[in-house]
A = this chain, B = another copy of it.
């Protein structure tokens, strides 16, 4: 008999021009990713040329049963690392049949902000550091941790190697290559301070594409952990106690910050963020109060602080930036479960459009 993998890995380009497009969208909780696939007649590389589609919103908490169609608008295309060949992944956002964005569609508002002429002129760049925890299936206890107990305390695990220090590297390394293959701007990976916790970075990406790329990278991670039989958690404080939480530090710069004199622009921008600290925190992810305690390399959730090379601050400026007088800064407040459409556009809005 043929093995299942022979069939899964069939290269169809020898037999047909048809391709498979996996449409991906965000579900009713704002964190659950959904997808379904359709056949297209031939290769498509422009999202505008892809057909709109629809799904059953009553099954994802996004529409009532008696009026359940939600419309998918294709927004970004990536190569499919699972089906390979000419097959694609399509990042979409969701609308009512009347053409209104549904409430959980955060991309729509973000796209408006990014196309504002003042924002577009500043060419905002983002580097997002996505932390996440791998959990043993069924138990929901981190992988590599003894069931009913704890591993040795934090210290050896950050960037560590070895069977007693790094748990789940298979997932991380296959995710890295899969994202590069897909065309996502994945810039690096590292093992994190808590054992079983990892990080990947997406960027630098411009404007709305940072959010698109991060969501697709998250989707690919869900698919890979599915294969590996482990569960991925984006909870910002998966284990209470002397264990690090998981964040989504967001690095940011504008054209003015990257040019000479940029350091002053950076300081003004940080000043704006300080004045809107409460509003940002409210939009930076559910459950963040369990993570932003002032310990474990975080700043307390009620306090806004910034500093050069200071990992205990809300906003950190790198030594390179200080020295060069220009560059970028890192907002360390967002939780691992933040919505990148919300966070990236809010930072742009507060630092470019908002007047104190």
Contacts and interface: CB of A to CB of B under 8 A. Distances in A.
Interface of A: 1-10, 12, 15-16, 18, 20, 27, 32-39, 54-56, 58-61, 65-69, 79, 81-83, 97, 137-138, 146, 155-156, 158-166, 169-171, 173-178, 180-181, 183, 186-191, 193, 219, 222-232, 297, 307, 309-312, 318-319, 323
Contact of A162 (B1, B59, B225, B318): B225
Contacts of A190: 35-37
Q: How many copies of this chain does the complex contain?
A: 2
A33 B82 contact: no
Nearest to A229: B163
A311 B56 contact: yes
Given A1-B226, A319-B97, A10 B156 contact: no
Nearest to A159: B34
A173 B6 contact: no
A228 B219 CA distance: 25
A184 B309 CA distance: 36
B222 A174 contact: no
Contact of A178 (B10, B137, B155, B173): B10
Given A3-B5, A8-B173, A8-B177, 20 more contacts: A1-B82, A2-B5, A4-B170, A4-B171, A4-B227, A10-B178, A32-B156, A34-B159, A35-B159, A59-B159, A59-B297, A60-B159, A67-B310, A68-B311, A69-B318, A82-B173, A83-B173, A137-B163, A162-B222, A162-B231
Nearest to A15: B181
Contacts of A38: 187-188
